[in-house]
Amino acid sequence: MAKYQHILVALDLSEESDQVLQQAIELATNSGAKLSLAHVIEPLTFAYGGDIPVDLTEVQEQLQVQAQEQLDKIVSNITIGTHNQHVVIGQPAAEIHRLAEEEDCDLVVVGSHGRRGLALLLGSTANGVLHGAKCDVLAVRVSLPE
């Protein structure tokens, strides 16, 4: 197995994020790697088609603050400096690629729900990250809460 230096963990802040983070922590511990976390918020104009004649800046800022608070809660039991926590706005796969390059990461860890059928054809963030990354990508199969 490769010895990684810097691991970027892409979290969607769902209940399954802890499974992805725990796997990344184990890898980082075994490799002696630095760990960075990322959460990407899609711009509201993407989500709503951009046809709404309303200024969504304040709503977008609130989403960003809430995401940072959730990320802070997730990492409260581990030591990761705020400079290694990234909450950004953009297209998830593209932003994860950008962060991985900017931070000189040699591994990106993402969660995968193992979609099948139509959801598989439409793609997922994990698939998008895999097909554009310039470093290794680990897709952690997460199990949904029962």
**Domains in the chain, start-ordered, CATH in brackets?**
6-141 (3.40.50.620)
Expressed in angstroms, the distance from the first to the final Cα of the chain is 33
Q: Which residue numbers in the chain have pLDDT < 70?
A: 1-2, 45-55, 113-123, 144-146
So what's the pLDDT on residue 136?
92
Which amino acid, residue 76?
A: S
Q: In what order do the strands lie in the sheet with 85-89?
A: 85-89, 34-41, 6-10, 107-112, 136-141
So what's the pLDDT on residue 9?
94
So what's the pLDDT on residue 103?
94
Q: What is the 3-state secondary structure (H, E, C) of the chain?
A: CCCCCEEEEECCCCCCHHHHHHHHHHHHHHHCCEEEEEEEECCHHHHCCCCCCCCCHHHHHHHHHHHHHHHHHHCCCCCCCHHHEEEEECCHHHHHHHHHHHCCCCEEEEEECCCCCHHHHHCCHHHHHHCCCCCEEEEEECCCCC
* Angle between helix 17-31 and 57-74 (nearest 10): 60
- Take residue 122 and report the two structure tokens written for it: 């439409």
Contact call for residues 70 and 41 (beta carbons, < 8 A): no
So what's the pLDDT on residue 114?
58
